[in-house]
């Protein structure tokens, strides 16, 4: 699952006591494990080896350059959804020719930046994952203007229910992403011969996290059928990007092993692979979720009515998932002692001297919580460190500065060493873009007269 484990009653990240990291880096801080990142990447590549996919790590899940570099060294390409993420890929040393670029709202400037930096160029592995007719026309127009030719995949909605949170279900007909299967054929008929935007791939991402393999089987079956239909229409598909969405272990052994996903997908994909179709995967969570924890300090505890509150130095500003999606994250003190070490990460680890408590942050929102009625040691108190597990994905990437909270530090552990891969923000960082107002040079105009109210 990951390299965070209790030894002699205290939590280690690989071979480093988490207590020591907190003492040096302060809290709140995210701690990532290199060994876990590498292990998850390798397992994925191994599970899907029969179709030799290009694994494009989904930057949005955890965009820290330290994390990107670990995966890039392993051979990963990157999945980006904004100009900022493309810039991060480049900054981590990943050429944009090895990146895929999705997103329903690509701006002209972002498209130009991508093309100028080699995204989708002939001979490369990357593509624009195009989400609509208007966007395609825009990509083609900009490519023409730059005298470039770019490779494009059409994002399709196979209309599959991934059985996940409605906010992260992305492959149904009525979602804002991609086009439905009927429109896909018309799309190729209209744009399939464009000389500057070469429509040669299909892209899908049906949702996240998906804990059963059936939605993938259904999506792959529909995609393979579309490939055949398009071939009959005279359009050859060179690449299929299956997106991400594989699960993570928020509780012990919650997610199927990657081999199970591969066993469902590979038999359907292999005939296409044998015909020369290149496969791409865009995993985020399954690689990085278990590779990260969030370490917090308990500031205070208090009781109100029948409720006991554990008030920490960060809440939804550092980890939005519990309040935004109602997500479960296992959490436990960093140094609980041998007798209070949980055997499993689960809602109630069945240990003595525990009680239900709300774990909340310092923000002025009732929605600022990390767990409600969570079974935790009754002894938990001011000054304790608390570890929130499986926080590597959509943790820091969704963190905010709400209530003017500086963003947490990020630390990468490798064996017995650790380095700060993002410094904690300071009060100065909070105001640096606001210190000097800049006058806008507006065109001269006369303010229209107010109309009398009728």
Ligand X SMILES: Cc1ncc(COP(=O)(O)O)c(C=O)c1O
Binding-site ranges for ligand X (CB under 6 A): 58, 60-61, 79, 102, 205, 208-209, 243-246, 282-286, 393
H or E stretch at 370:
strand 369-377
Q: Which of 371, 363, 374, 431 is nearest to 402 (CA)?
A: 363
Q: Other C-beta atoms within 10 Å of 25: how many? A: 21
Determine whether 364 is an active site residue. Answer: yes
Cβ atoms of residues 321 and 250 within 8 Å = no
245 to each of 32, 57, 61, 209, 387, how far by Cα in Å?
20, 11, 11, 5, 25
Residue 439: which H helix or E strand, with range? none
DSSP state of 452: P
Kindly write down the DSSP assignment for every residue of 311-335, as one continuous string: EES-STTT--HHHHH-----EEESS
Report strand pairing: 150-157 vs 197-203.
Answer: parallel
HSE-up of residue 63 (Cα within 13 Å, Cβ side): 19
Cross-strand bridge partners of residue 271: none
Helices (H) and strands (E) in the chain, counts: 12, 21
Write out the catalytic residue numbers. 364
């Amino acid at each position: 699952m990951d390299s965070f484990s209790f030894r002699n009653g205290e939590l280690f990240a690989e071979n480093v006591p988490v207590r020591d990291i907190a003492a040096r880096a302060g809290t709140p801080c995210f701690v990532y494990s290199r060994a876990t990142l590498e292990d998850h990447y390798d397992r994925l590549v191994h599970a899907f080896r029969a179709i030799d996919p290009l694994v494009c790590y989904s930057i949005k899940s955890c965009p820290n350059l330290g994390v990107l570099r670990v995966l890039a060294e392993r051979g990963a390409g990157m999945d980006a959804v904004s100009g900022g993420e493309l810039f991060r890929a480049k900054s981590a040393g990943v050429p944009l020719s090895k990146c895929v670029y999705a997103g329903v709202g690509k701006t002209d400037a972002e498209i130009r930046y991508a093309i100028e930096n080699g995204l989708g160029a002939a001979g490369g592995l990357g593509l624009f994952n195009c989400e609509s007719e208007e966007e395609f026309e825009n990509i083609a127009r900009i490519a023409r203007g730059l005298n470039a030719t770019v490779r494009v995949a059409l994002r399709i909605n196979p209309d599959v229910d991934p059985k996940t949170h409605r906010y992260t279900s992305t492959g149904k007909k009525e979602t804002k992403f991609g086009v439905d299967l009927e429109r896909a054929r018309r799309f190729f008929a209209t744009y399939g011969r464009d000389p500057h935007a070469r429509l040669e791939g299909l892209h899908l991402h049906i949702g996240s996290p998906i804990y059963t393999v059936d939605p993938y089987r259904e999506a792959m079956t529909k995609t393979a059928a579309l490939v055949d239909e398009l071939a009959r229409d005279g359009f050859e598909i060179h690449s299929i990007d299956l997106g991400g969405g594989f699960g993570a272990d928020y509780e012990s052994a919650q997610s199927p092993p990657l081999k199970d996903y591969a066993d469902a997908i590979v038999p359907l994909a292999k005939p296409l692979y044998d015909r020369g179709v290149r496969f791409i995967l865009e995993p985020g969570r399954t690689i990085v979720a278990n590779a990260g924890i969030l370490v917090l300090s308990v500031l205070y505890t208090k009781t109100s009515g029948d409720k006991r509150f554990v008030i920490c130095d960060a809440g939804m500003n550092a980890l939005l998932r519990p309040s935004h999606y109602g997500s479960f994250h296992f959490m436990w003190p960093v140094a609980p002692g041998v007798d209070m070490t949980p055997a499993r990460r689960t809602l109630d680890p069945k240990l003595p001297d525990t009680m239900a408590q709300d774990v909340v942050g310092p923000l002025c929102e009732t929605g600022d919580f990390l767990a409600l009625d969570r079974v935790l040691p009754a002894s938990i108190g001011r000054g304790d460190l608390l570890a929130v597990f499986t926080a590597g994905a959509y943790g820091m990437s969704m963190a905010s500065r709400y209530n003017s909270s500086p963003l947490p530090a990020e630390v990468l552990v490798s064996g017995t060493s650790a380095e700060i891969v993002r410094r904690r923000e300071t009060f100065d960082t909070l105001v640096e873009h606001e210190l000097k107002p800049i006058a806008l040079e507006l065109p001269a105009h006369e303010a229209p007269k107010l109309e009398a109210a009728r």
